[in-house]
Amino acid sequence: MKGKTRNALMGAAGAVLCAAVIRRGLSNAFDRNMVGTALNREEPKAMRKMKERVKGEAGDMEEIMAFCVKLQHRLEQRCHQVVRITGHDGTELVGHLFRAANQKRVVVAMHGWRSCWARDFGPVADFLRENGCTVLYAEQRGQGESGGEYMGFGMIERFDCLEWVKWLNANGFSACPLYLAGISMGATTVLMAAGFPELPENVMGVLADCGFTSAKAEWKYISENNLRIPYDRRRRHVEALCRKRIELTPDAYTTLDAMKTCRVPILFVHGEADTFVPVEMTLQNYEACRSPKRKLIVPGANHGMSYFYDRTGYENAVKAFFREQEDGFRRR
């Protein structure tokens, strides 16, 4: 009986151990897919069906996104200059320069995560052009026609943003007021770029629509709120995977870090009902910002949808922001 009991216990222990190994293996595979979804140019196939859960999208998003695709195609077909430059690390970067007939200012526009320049900015392109904005719509690294196998959640892209500013100033725009504008990960990119002490003097301000505080904070939020999967116990593995891909941890540089050294004015915009990047992140960025600042929080708007929910308020806030910064620029 003792032998049978011992064998039964050993069998049960083996089964428990085997189950633990399987769970650990599944957990590690999930982490790899999650980090791959966040950073890889090619999205892991296993995660494609989870997009709605990852983004936490609301029902109104589908109709609005269909409209954005129409505007995307219209913007892509307009006459413009395709620009190619080399980033700080040798990566080829592609941009699309649209010159305004009544040019008053220049804007560097950075699109969001797993998106594209024409879809993210198609809705506001007419507004910008009609208000005298020559716009350089950048294609973020690891996406579209730009090079790179990985995205950097703003930590690397901030250097690309700075390169676009340098290119514009070297190509006839150094006397123009210049702004950095971004949506979602693009907002984080321009907010992080605002932390550079070497920003040229003609950079007048930043327009940031629904940016996050850090890659780590965003990943934790998505994991725990949208996927209902605890993040802290898998944090070390996730950080190791991130470091292997881009040589940075998810909190190596944060928007909050940039806000401590930022010297240019910032207009923060966010939808109050955002289920992908919570509005609290913009409120944290706003509080951390040490430069002149304004904010526009739009009730009912989901991620990146503020312009659709309060177009008048959005446009008025941007025009007022331009006026405030350029009054000082003209007095120089």
For the chain, domains (ranges, CATH) are 58-214+251-330 (3.40.50.1820)
pLDDT of residue 97: 98
Q: Which stretch of 2-16, 37-51, 268-282, 290-304 has the lowest confidence by average pLDDT?
A: 2-16
CA distance 270 to 277: 9
Its sign, for the CA torsion 168, 170, 171, 175, is: positive
Average pLDDT score over residue span 178-200: 97
pLDDT of residue 16: 40
pLDDT of residue 328: 67
Average pLDDT score over residue span 200-229: 96
pLDDT level of residue 30 (50, 70, 90 thresholds): confident
pLDDT of residue 42: 92
pLDDT of residue 33: 87
Whether 11 shows a pLDDT value over 90: the answer reads no
- Helices marked H in the chain: 2-39, 51-55, 61-77, 117-130, 157-168, 185-193, 215-221, 235-246, 255-261, 279-288, 306-309, 311-330
8 A C-beta contact, residue 181 and residue 134: no
Sheet containing strand 81-86, edge to edge, reads 81-86, 92-98, 133-139, 105-110, 178-183, 203-209, 266-271, 293-298
Type of residue numbered 290: R
Q: Identify the CA nearest to 122 among candidates 165, 76, 176.
A: 76
Whether 216 shows a pLDDT value over 70: the answer reads yes
Q: Round the average pLDDT of the chain to a whole number and report it.
A: 90
pLDDT of residue 2: 57
Question: Taking phi first (over 0 means left), then psi (-120 to 50 degrees means alpha), and beta for anything else, what does residue 140 get?
Answer: beta
CA distance 186 to 115: 10
8 A C-beta contact, residue 280 and residue 97: no
Q: Can you say how many angstroms the Cα of residue 66 is from the centroid of all Cα atoms in its chain?
A: 21
pLDDT of residue 23: 40
Whether 12 shows a pLDDT value over 50: the answer reads no
Whether 47 shows a pLDDT value over 70: the answer reads no
pLDDT level of residue 19 (50, 70, 90 thresholds): very low
pLDDT level of residue 14 (50, 70, 90 thresholds): very low
Q: What is the DSSP track for 53-73?
A: HHHT--TTHHHHHHHHHHHHH
For the stretch 120-154, pLDDT in tens is 999 999 999 999 999 999 999 999 999 999 999 99
pLDDT level of residue 60 (50, 70, 90 thresholds): low
pLDDT of residue 65: 86
Q: Which stretch of 55-69, 139-153, 166-180 has the lowest confidence by average pLDDT?
A: 55-69
pLDDT of residue 55: 65
For the stretch 71-118, pLDDT in tens is 999 999 999 999 999 999 999 999 999 999 999 999 999 999 999 999
pTM of this prediction exceeds 0.85: yes
